[in-house]
Each structure stands twice: as C-alpha cells, then as structure tokens.
Structure 1
Amino acid sequence: MQDEQDERGFFGERPLKPLAKTDPKLDKPHYLGHRERLRQRLRDSGPESLQDYEVLELLLFRSITRADTKGRAKALIQRFGSLSEVLGAPERLLREVEGIGDAVAFDLKVIAAAAKRMAKGEVAQREVLSSWQLLLDYVRTAMAFETTEQFRILFLDKRNALIADEVQQTGTVDHTPAYPREVAKRALELSATAIILVHNHPSGDPTPSKADIEMTKTIMSVCKPLSIMVHDHIIVGKAGFASLKGLALI
C-alpha cells in the first residue's frame, strides 16, 4: 500500500514538459510559397515570363484556394494543348480532367467570356481595316476553338467601323449553311455598307474549301447590286487563319 502511494505521488509530482514549439512556416502548405513566387514573377517580369500552364495556375488560384493547382494546370494543357484551347474548350470536356469540377470549369468559361469581350472592345473602337491584326486576334479568340462550325458576319458602316458582330448560322463539325439573301437582308437592316465574312474550321486547318470559295462569290454577287461591299472572308482554325482576299481567291 505504501508502495502504491509512493508511486502515485511520484507520478503526480512530476512536472509537465512544455509542448514543443513549432515553426509556423513548417505548418503552411508547401504550395503557398509557390503561389507567392509565381505572383511575384508576374509582377516583376510580366506575363511573357510565364508559360501557359503557369498563367493557368494563377487563374486557378481563385477557384481552388486550398490545394496545389500546378498538377491540374498541367493536366489541362496536356489535354487541350494550350491556354487558348483550355479556355475555348466546352465545360463538359473541362470537367473530364481530374480535379476540375463544375465550379472550376464554369470559372474558366467566365474568364474566356471576359477575354472575348476585351478583344471585341479593342476592335469596336477602331477602323477595322486599319486594325487588321486586332480583328484577327478577336475572331481567333471568339471562334478558333469552337467544336462546331459557325458563320459569323461583321457589319461595317461607311467609315469601316464595326456596327454589329453576329453569328448568323451554326452547323455541324464540318459544315455550316449560309444564305446569301439573308446576309444581304441583315446588312440592309443595319444600314451596313460593307461586311466581313468569318467562319471557323473545327478541324484546325483553315485552308478554304471549294465550297467556301463558291459560297463567298455567291454572297458577293447578291450584295454588289445593293452597294454592299464584301471586304473579305476569313477562315479561322487552331492552326491559324486564311484570308480569301489575301489568297487572291475572291
């Protein structure tokens, strides 16, 4: 009995050891330091210093706040090929990438919509024919990564400023119907004196087909008596663009 009391007293009187101090830096997830370094590189050296997947990482920081985004960004680039193609991909395909849920896919499409608005705003503020590269950048942003063909018309006033930008028809993966009389009718409704035709090739190759050339010539023949000038027909693909006028096909 005495031994038990002594033992209880022994353990009861032993001083408690202080808890080991931890380094706050070690408690932070490893990716936080990476995020800050990436942000600082953007601030110091600009976006040109970053690769596509790194820009995508920065975008994903807002949607995925408590996990590493580097792996997800690389997986998206590997699946679609480039940052532009990631932003141009349909939501359903984005969600097929591991770690990309509904919210992240939606956020990426919002970013894509903002990029299109910005590119369109740049075109709208200038005389289109003297800002040709801006126009090409806009139509590429708007259409190059669509999975079905779209036939788009840019309506211009007598100063060649943009009045309206409309998708007239949407087709299949390799064909879009175009109706020349409807094109002319809409131009008259908008009091447009010139138009630029644009459509995309989902295959990625912007090379004009025989049908593309014939359709353009038909639209030109309908518009000419109405004093509506067809400045060009631009075909957009992932691999670049083709201008029928630049190729001397119209």
Structure 2
Amino acid sequence: MEKDETDERGFLGEQPQPAMHKPAPDARPHYLGHRERLRERFATAGHAALPDYELLELLLFRLIPRADTKPVAKALLARFGTLAEVLGTDEALLREVKGIGPAVALDLKVIAAATQRMLRSELTARETLSSWTQVLDYCRASMAFEAREQFRILFLDKKNALIADEVQQTGTVDHTPVYPREVVKRALELSATAIILVHNHPSGDPTPSRADIEMTKEIIEAGKRLGITVHDHIIIGKKGYASMKGLALI
C-alpha cells in the first residue's frame, strides 16, 4: 500500500517496523529517549509536573510519530500563547506553523472538541447555578479563542439544570446580530424557564459595550412577559470574563 503523502503523521503511527528495517541501537533517533522519559514523568508525577510545552509534546507524539515534536510544540506556544489558545485557535492558523499539516491540525481540533464535550457533560443534569465555575470553564473553552463573535444561550429548566446549549448567532469580529424575540421563542420551544446569555469578544477585552447592555435588557423584558428569567449575561475574553449581573448592569 502506498503511503498517503498528504498525511504528515505517517503510516501506522508509532507501530513497530519489521525487523529488517529496524535501525541499529546507536542509530535510534535522539527524540525517542526523550519521549520515553517524558511519558514516564507524566505517568509518575501527573500533568501538573509538566509545563505547557511538554504536555503539548505528549499530544503531538501520536500525531507526529516520526519527528522531534519539541520544536513544534514550542512554535505553537510562541505563536498562540497558551495550550488553551493552541487548541482553541482556528484550524487554518494552526497549519501556518511549521510542522503542522492538515491532518495534525484536524487532530488538535478533535482534542479540543473532546475537551469541550467533557466540560459540557459536567453541566448536564446539574443545578447550573451551583456549578458556576464549570459554566465559566465550559464557555471559555468553547468561545474564548474564536475569531468571530458568537452568541450562545444556555437553556435551563425549573431546577436550573441544563436543557440545551446553542449558538444562536455568529457574527463578525466585533458584532453579532441578536433578536430578543428569537431568543424568547427558542426558550419557549425548549420549555426553558430560565436562560444564561453568553457571547465572546475576539478582541480579548470582555468589558460589556453599551449595545451589549441594551440588548440584554431588551431580552430580559421580553422574557419577563412570558415567565422566562435571564440569570446573567457573560462576556468571554481571552484573558477573562465579565458578568453583567456581577457588575450590577442588569
């Protein structure tokens, strides 16, 4: 079978090669010993013992099995800043980093999606307002590093358990059109009695704008007439978040 040259991960990953192709012991690539030591550190001391670049290396071991992944991990962090930003960034931007081709970029996004799914599962069937840290962690993982604004709604039942989580609108780098009537209509369709509004600021600054505040108040008024409570409107930035309720804006 011919090797797919479009997949930089290599055929069969780290599967052992036939004996006739094994290099002599002194000809082993230098990075193999480093991989073994890094895996051992993770196994014995856990992830807290590893800086971001080494944890990222561990992820890349399987994705790029036949190369030294330390320079790639460091290049990703130099470009995007943190491990969370690497996993949260756009697939096309990942491919601009030397050593990251389409297959590895896609695999990193799969890892990011799995992380988001895990965080979301922690909210399901829980009293959401008592799990505020998990709400913020999930929203940050889902939205903080998006290149365009997204308007997300968490729909809650009468016990404040999560019914649904939906991105209702996606806009530009600094604006998302939001229609209060559509927000309330969707809440009624899902039999939600309360909602949490969330949107991101791609600029990184989570400070609410005047338009954000006015739009939120319109949704609150529209919901009141139909028995739907707006618990909060959270704005997510790369370095933090802002709660309109916490800021006494609503």
| TM-score after normalising by structure 1 | 0.90
Alignment of 1:211-250 (within 5 A): 211-250=211-250
**Offset of residue 108 of structure 1:** 0.4
SS of residue matched to 1:163: strand
SS of residue matched to 1:226: coil
Match of 2:180 in 1: 180
| TM-score after normalising by structure 2 | 0.90
For residues 138 and 173 of structure 1, the distance between their equivalents in structure 2, rounded to whole angstroms, comes to: 21
1:71 partnered with 2:71: yes
For residues 239 and 90 of structure 2, the distance between their equivalents in structure 1, rounded to whole angstroms, comes to: 19
**Offset of residue 239 of structure 1:** 1.0
Q: What amino acid sits opposite 2:207 in the alignment? A: T
Match of 1:158 in 2: 158
Q: What amino acid sits opposite 1:41 in the alignment? A: R
Q: What is the count of residue pairs matched by the alignment? A: 228
1:129 partnered with 2:129: yes
**Cα-to-partner distance string for 1:33-57 (whole Å, 9 max, x where unaligned):** 1011111111111111111111110
> Structure 1 stretch 179-188 or stretch 24-33: which is displaced more?
24-33
**Cα-to-partner distance string for 1:163-199 (whole Å, 9 max, x where unaligned):** 0000000000000011000000000000000000000
SS of residue matched to 2:66: coil
Q: What amino acid sits opposite 1:219 in the alignment? A: I
RMSD, aligned CA? 1.0
Q: What amino acid sits opposite 2:209 in the alignment? A: S
Alignment of 1:91-170 (within 5 A): 91-170=91-170
SS of residue matched to 1:146: coil
1:60 partnered with 2:60: yes
Q: What amino acid sits opposite 2:143 in the alignment? A: M
* Runs of 5+ consecutive residues of structure 2 not aligned to the other structure: 1-22
Q: What amino acid sits opposite 1:155 in the alignment? A: F
SS of residue matched to 2:112: helix
For residues 195 and 179 of structure 2, the distance between their equivalents in structure 1, rounded to whole angstroms, comes to: 14
Q: What amino acid sits opposite 1:46 in the alignment? A: G
SS of residue matched to 2:97: coil
Identity %: 72
**Offset of residue 125 of structure 1:** 3.6
For residues 47 and 124 of structure 2, the distance between their equivalents in structure 1, rounded to whole angstroms, comes to: 25
For residues 37 and 248 of structure 1, the distance between their equivalents in structure 2, rounded to whole angstroms, comes to: 51
Q: What amino acid sits opposite 2:87 in the alignment? A: L
* Runs of 5+ consecutive residues of structure 1 not aligned to the other structure: 1-22
**Offset of residue 24 of structure 1:** 4.8
Match of 2:42 in 1: 42
For residues 39 and 106 of structure 1, the distance between their equivalents in structure 2, rounded to whole angstroms, comes to: 23
SS of residue matched to 1:32: helix
Larger radius of gyration: 1
For residues 173 and 80 of structure 2, the distance between their equivalents in structure 1, rounded to whole angstroms, comes to: 17
Greater share of residues in helix: 1
SS of residue matched to 2:165: strand
For residues 74 and 185 of structure 2, the distance between their equivalents in structure 1, rounded to whole angstroms, comes to: 47
Q: What amino acid sits opposite 2:123 in the alignment? A: V
For residues 244 and 153 of structure 2, the distance between their equivalents in structure 1, rounded to whole angstroms, comes to: 15
Q: What amino acid sits opposite 1:98 in the alignment? A: K
